[in-house]
Amino acid sequence: MGKPVLGMEELIESLFSRPWMEPMSWRRPLLAELESFEMKFPRIDMVDRDGELLVRAELPGIEKKDLEITIADDFLTIAVHREVSEKEESEHFYRAEMTRGAMERTIPLPVGVVGDKAKAELKDGILELVIPKATKVSRHKVSVR
């Protein structure tokens, strides 16, 4: 016995139901992937100390002149705006590239802070930002019964 013969509708259905027919996967839109990518950068750690917050952000390859830090209404915004241009030229070759890009991340601060007393340092691709708290909070040890 041979293989069963498929009708035209079944043949078309079997062709279009295959995953390889879905370019860039329609199940995960490209826009959603870009939004999730943007939300991850720059990566940030926040340490809550008694009288201050320490914020560290990964910013590899970023220079101070490209960086803007804003503290407003208990939110911290780190923004980077870059423009890079390269030129390479020889007797038989010419190449010029310009790149522009921006990256921004805003995070809520867990306590009130004194933004105008904040201090920032950028070293080896790591931004360290020390922000004094509006009111000093002391820690108390609680014993468990």
**Distances from the Cα of 142 to the Cα of 48, 55, 81, 137, angstroms:** 18, 27, 46, 15
First to last CA, the chain: 78
Domain boundaries, the chain: 42-132
92 phi, psi to nearest 5 deg? -120, 15
The CA distance from 87 to 100, in Å, is 15
pLDDT of residue 4: 61
pLDDT of residue 5: 63
Reported as a single tens digit per residue, the pLDDT across 48-103 is 988 899 999 999 888 899 999 999 988 999 998 877 677 777 787 777 777 777 88
Count CA atoms within 13 Å of residue 109 on its CB side.
26
Nearest to 45 by CA among 32, 33, 54, 35: 54
Third-level CATH fold of 42-132: Immunoglobulin-like (2.60.40)
